[in-house]
Structures are given as structure tokens and as C-alpha cells.
Chains A and B, each alone.
Chain A
């Protein structure tokens, strides 16, 4: 749900958390991004950095230049001018990520964890069960037949929070408790209502269902897609998962290793929010 008005929470003497709502859905997140981009364009003096998140955003500011109270007022004014409607179109790149579902790397990672915690149901099986999906082939179909909205990035360089745009592809999964101490780079996991792609080998808590050989983070900026940033995704991009088999997976791995791999990024796409919401509503009605 979207709150009636913005809620401001101070984070010490150099940050403000601005909360717009308390749900994880596309509409709230879309309004977050629109407000963040308006704040950015208005070039308020003293604003140092912005972090859009699922239902809120963080403003880092220099409190020797602008006070907490004045900055809150500025943001409130921008929000009232902008309105709370979810409408319009925006440029949104469409990026296709090849995935080997139920691959050897994440399977080994899950087995390792289960040596210590034998009661843990293997991740794909757990996700399938909890979501009433008949078999693993159907899980793969459900996960790969939707576009995902890059709702936010954070926690680790390039780590994305992906919201499925097709209502029928909403899959919910609990997080690991306790978390894994390691996750293979490129693992694809589900936690809460979100999918993520691990940009690097890090600890983690999402249920693992597959692996991509295509890097979403390149610390050495060796590959062409990483010339401007070490991280591939930007908020407001859309992602599609393309299932591949082992031969194609190996072939992509080899192209990454030799440095010739390029992502499939469609850059001319425009995303119509109105048409999307109409479509999602119709999908839900027919479900």
C-alpha cells in the first residue's frame, strides 16, 4: 500500500529514509523511481547521493549545506507536484540472461549446506512445493516466462532485486536460516517475492534454482558491457531469463573466458506503465 503522504526518518546527520509505502510491488516501486529521478533532476544543493529501494529511498546529504527539515520540505513539494498516479512511459533496457536451471554449481552449493543442515529441503524442491508447482520443469517454465523489473540494486556491487512482471510468475520463498557462507558467482536465487543474480561469490540467503555463465559484474572491466561501470544492471531495466542447456552454457562460459562475450541488451525499448498495468489486471482476472 502507498502511504497517504511521505514518511521521513532521519539516518544520523547525513541521511534521510523516505518511505512511500509498505509493500513489495511494481506500482510503489515505480513511484519511488519516478520521485528519485525528479529529486535528482531538481539538483537540490547539498544532496550527495540517492538510493532507490523497493518502497522507499535514501537521500545522502551534506547537512552543512542543507538542513534535514528544509530537505524534507523540498522533497515533499516535488512529490505533491508529481502526484501519486502510476502512469506514463519510460526508457527501459531489456536484458536477456541465459540460465542453466538446476545446474551443477548451485546443486553442489546446496549439497554442501545440507551436509551441515541435513533437514534443509533442496532449494528447487522447496520452492516447487511451497508454490504448488507440479514439477521442476514447470518451475523452470514459471520462472522463465516473464520479464522482471530491476526494482533496486544494493547490498553488494551489482546485486539486483528483480520483481516478476507477469502475475502468474510470482514465486515466494523463505530465506536461508542461517545464511550460506558462500554462493557461486552467477547463481540465481529466490527470496521473498524477489529473484536475484549473485554478481560475485558472496554469502547469501536466497533459494538457488539455477546459474548463469554471463557475468553481471566485472571487477576488471574486461568485457565490453562493463566499460562505464563494474555492474551491468541499472534500476528500471527489465530482465528475461532464457533457459539454456549444458552445451550452450559451456559455449558462453568459453566466450566469457576469452573476453569476447557480449550481453543481449535491447536498448531502444520503451516501457508503457499504463499498458502494463492493464495487461497485468487482465491476466489476474483470467487466472
Chain B
């Protein structure tokens, strides 16, 4: 009989995600999708003997309850949703040998916002346009899991139990303040100089209407440069309008006066400026920050962004595991 799990309670928009996401279809308007916190996602996979980019579950704010139908190794990483197996708390960032019939239950996120559940063999849903990553809003690659749904697992003979060294785990703060590394551009020259400085000096609080399609921020007002105020009508009427252009992942998109950070399931293109872009290595923090919490942006350059990427990359390899 094929290996699988059954969803008993779906949680809040629990989705299958896979790396590198859905590449090659951006020009038809399909976002890349994929896991929001790559650090936790990859550690979940290596704990169960998978390639680190294998399909796994991303849980958001409230995790699912599911039945293990076939014996497997599993791991839970990322936000602390108080995971239990048959009612007994299980350690996070640690391989768990689960038996057929056991119930895995995740609750509300006590710290962070997104947890990852990986199973040995990976989640083996059918890829759509080259990827198992789910873009829930448009139903690309499926939607969030539902009660009663069965998810197939791939084959695996993993049996070793590991834990991630404490120093290699992401530190998910419970203090409600995050420093997010960001780069100027592509459209920082559409803002007044004082607004560029203010962006990196101000506190930005995360609005409730934030999700994988965008993180909306509340903070001070922006002022615009001559380039934004005195432009060809082709660009549109508002100072923040520009002729439709591509939207980079992590762009801080300015629609009117509301900055929206564009993340994994955000629009691929549009007609508003993107004065700043969050570094790819800071994405895991956006994934774990909750509505009501505060972001402070720290300006970095491409060299530092590269150093940060390398640091996370080195923490998502089997060498950071210890046997238990």
C-alpha cells in the first residue's frame, strides 16, 4: 500500500510547498510560490533524510491535525505550534519516528507564524507546471489542504534520528520587533531623498491584511521626487504609478501611501513603483513576523546580501545535524 497521511483538521491555510518553486511561468503571470521560510523548510527536510528542496507542508498561524497512515520519519520546524504526537509533546527541529495510526497535532503559533512539517520521502502530490508548490488564491498546484484529504508520500528508507544543532536553528523572536535587511532600488529615485532615509529609520507595523500575497505596512508618509511628480501621462496619475513593470520578489511596493512587501505568492507585474527590495536571506524573518509586530529596515548592499545567503545556506546542510 502506498505511503500517505490523512488530514483530520486543516489548520489555517496549510499548503504543500516545494523548492525552487514554479519557475518559467512568471511571464504568464504565475508567481514563483514555494516555502516562505526556506531556512526552516530545508532543515525540516534534511532531518528526515530528504533532499532539502523536497515538497513538505507549510503551516500558517494555526497548524493542522493529521493521521499518519504509514510508518514514516517526520520533523517539525519553524514557528512553535506546540506539536504533539498522540497527545505527547514532541521536540521541534528533531526527527520523530511516527507509526501508522498516530495523530500529529499542531496548534496556534506561540512564536513565529509559519511551521514546516516534512515527511521522509516527501509529499508526492502531482506537479503542476513543473512544481508541487501551491498558489492557494488561484488554485495553481492545488489549494490549502482540506479535512479528509489524503496526501501521498514518496518512498524512503530513512531511519536515523537527528536534531539540528542549537546554533544552526533560526532564532524566532517573541519580542515583536524584527530587523529586516533591504536594498535600495529599483525605484528609490522616485522618492524624495528624505523619504529614502526615513524608510530605513522608521518603525513599520504589519497590518492584519498580510499573507503570502503581500505584507502590508503602516508607517510614515512618503514624499516623491521630481521623477514621480513630473512624468509622462503613460505612467498613470498617482505619483506612485509607473508604466507596468516586473515586480521583484521582496520588493517594497508603494501603492499610493501603503507599502506592501511582495512575497512568494504576490503579483508578478503591475503599475506601482518598488523603491526598495528585501534581501532574499531576510525572507525567513518576513515569514515568521506576525500582524501587529514591528519591522525596522536596515540598508545593506549586494555584497552583504551574498554573505547572508551563504550563512543560511551553510546552516541548511546535513553537517548541522547531530544524531540523537
A-facing mask of B290-312, CB < 8 A → 1, else 0? 00000000000010011001100
- Beyond A15-B249, A64-B306, A219-B139: 17 further Cβ-contacts under 8 Å? A9-B187, A11-B277, A12-B277, A22-B231, A24-B234, A53-B269, A54-B244, A55-B243, A57-B246, A153-B27, A157-B29, A157-B30, A157-B140, A199-B29, A219-B140, A230-B30, A231-B29
Residues of B within 8 A of A (CB): 20, 23-30, 32, 128-129, 135, 138-140, 182-183, 185-187, 231-232, 234-237, 243-251, 267-271, 274, 277-281, 302, 305-306, 309-310
Q: How far is the CB of B196 from chain A (nearest CB, A)?
A: 14
Bound: A158/B138 CA distance, A: 11
Bound: A233/B27 CA distance, A: 10
Residues of A within 8 A of B (CB): 9-15, 17, 19, 22-24, 48-58, 60, 63-64, 68, 152-159, 161, 174-175, 192-193, 199-200, 219, 229-231, 233-235
B236 touches A192 (CB 8 A): yes
Closest residue on chain B to residue A9 by CB atoms: B186
A15 touches B248 (CB 8 A): yes
A12 touches B280 (CB 8 A): yes
Q: Which residues of B contact A233 (CB under 8 A)?
A: 28
Interface of B, helix, strand, loop or mixed by DSSP: mixed
Bound: A58/B245 CA distance, A: 8
Interface of A, helix, strand, loop or mixed by DSSP: loop
B138 touches A200 (CB 8 A): yes
A14, A64, A154: residue with the most chain B Cβ atoms closer than 10 Å: A154
A10 touches B236 (CB 8 A): no
Q: How far is the CB of B99 from chain A (nearest CB, A)?
A: 36
Bound: A233/B309 CA distance, A: 36
B183, B232, B244: residue with the most chain A Cβ atoms closer than 10 Å: B244
Which listed residue (A10, A24, A51, A199) contacts B185, Cβ 8 A? A10
Q: Which residues of A contact B138 (CB under 8 A)?
A: 156-157, 200, 219
